[in-house]
Amino acid sequence: MGNLWIGTPGALHEIDRAAKTFDRSAELGVNEFRSLSGRVTLTRNPSPVRRIKLGWELLAPRHARLLDRLARRLDGPGPLVLVDPASGNALDPRQAAGKGDPGQAGLNQWFKVSVNGTVVESATAPGTFSFAAVDATSKLAWRARTWSNFPVAPGMRVSFHAPAAFATLPTVAVQVDFKKADGSYLSTVAVNGPLVMATVPAEAALVTPCAAPGAAGTYSLAGACLTYGGPAEQDVPGDGMPPMAVTGYSDTPARPQPYRSIGLDLVEVSSAAG
């Protein structure tokens, strides 16, 4: 497990002190209705919302000042990127399972980075996707649903594991492409095999994981994993990297000064404006 990183794309900051309190429960949006006969009916939000509650004691001034700026939106309205050290897979939950929006050709989750190859949707299981490789050069990339590319910071460790169907092939190859904040290409770390690990280079603000099965065929996209701070493992459920906004903040001077006790509440949002 690595450290927590927080900020905006291109300006992530590492908090190298473990939070004393850390609650990352999802808000399921379940409501219970009881009839006069005593029977219970439930309604549920189809997309649970992640809520994060963090608390630090005796936090160093440089970290406290950063969190204060983010909470008061002094660097802009956001939304914020939160690299959760408890997350084992930064891919979207459905994306990690090889699923996406039915009828959208998987464009919100994947895109090809080779001349040939196609993301195909199952005719019998709408919303389930595979990669149809034409030959050994067919290559696929994973898209961050909100950020387009996955936010990173120089010095951070990242690793990517290919989907389970790719990983069984002796011809599989994976890579991570690092890009600047404007999306322009910077460098690549590539390996032959299902797992790549790399340190984010200077100037990099984004990373795009890619994989090539290395042989013609149609392969399920389930089982891929992108991990920050540790080696990626196959078939880890996705947590995603949703945009976050601060909804609660506490700042208590601590002894000895100038250390401070900080509390931060964040919620997954579609927009942080307003």
Residue-wise pLDDT for 22-59, tens only, equals 988 777 767 777 877 778 777 776 677 888 999 999 89
Q: pLDDT tens digits for 99-135?
A: 988 888 888 899 999 999 999 999 999 999 999 999 9
Mean pLDDT, the chain, integer: 90
Q: pLDDT tens digits for 202-229?
A: 999 999 999 999 999 999 999 999 999 8
pTM above 0.95, yes or no: no
Are the CB atoms for 120 and 110 separated by under 8 Å? no
Whether the per-residue pLDDT at 257 is higher than 90: the answer is: no
pLDDT at 31: 75
CA distance 242 to 229: 18
Question: ∠ CA 128-103-165 to the nearest 5 degrees?
Answer: 25
Whether the per-residue pLDDT at 273 is higher than 80: the answer is: no
Question: Looking up tokens 């880890």, which residue turns up?
Answer: 236
CA distance 72 to 75: 8
Residue 271 binned pLDDT confidence (cut-offs 50, 70, 90): low
Query: In which element (H, E) is residue 175 found?
Result: strand 173-179
Whether the per-residue pLDDT at 249 is higher than 50: the answer is: yes
* Three-state DSSP class for residue 176: strand
* Three-state DSSP class for residue 65: helix
pLDDT at 265: 94
Point out the least confidently predicted range of 17-21, 138-142, 152-156.
17-21
Q: pLDDT tens digits for 158-182?
A: 999 999 999 999 999 999 999 999 9
